[in-house]
Structure 1
Amino acid sequence: MVEKSGRPAYLQIVDELSKQIRAGSLAPGTALPSIAQLCQRFDVSASVVKAAISVLRTQGLVVGQQGKGVFVSETPAVPAEPQSSGEADEILEQLAQMRQGLKDLGDRLAALESAVFPGRK
């Protein structure tokens, strides 16, 4: 059953099923329970379960086979390799430049608004 924690129900289901897949409780090639079974298990609607399965597909953890069901992927998605510190530094520098550019645009917009609408804050 999903908790009323503020976290969307479909993400709670994703968390639970991906935890089972990574732990090996749901082995590669194993069929997931049917949508109806998952609805009953988590006490949610079919659309919530379908949204969770869609996320799992996007993550590469499950694959669907038309007319047969949804199965745990034989080759789970490989996590992205960590970036080198040089790449990370370059990305951080680009972000800093973007932030400064946005600040400059905000300042220019404020100046323009005060010129067009004098006396208005």
Structure 2
Amino acid sequence: MMPEQRALVTNRDIEALAAQAAMQTPGVLRLEPTIRDLLGRIGPTGAARSGQGANRLHEGVVATINDGIARVHLDIATDITYTALQVAQTVQDRVCQGIRKTGLIPGNVDISILAIEPANATG
């Protein structure tokens, strides 16, 4: 009998999972790219993260995996008609649930709300 094969979960996989969880949460308008995203793409630590460098797909999301623990930071904009704290807590819960499904342990899931605005705002 063959031992069970465990799929390799990368930082990029966790970033995609977190981005999807956030964007499917009522009250989240968008992910917010920041200077941290730019530095993460061009700096030595960004390039070293699983060889991703400038190929990051999810601006506003940074994930790291160490010793089976996935840590995530999301920068988001929320809809003014929702309570920002409740939106952030729901995003945290959804991201943690998704991480558990990968077989990893959720670490810190930090949410920064960078904007609170009407859903129909242009900009």
TM-score by length of 1: 0.26
- Greater RCO, CA 8 A, separation 6+: 2
Q: Which of the pair is proportionally richer in helix?
A: 1
Q: Which of the pair is proportionally richer in strand?
A: 2
TM-score by length of 2: 0.26
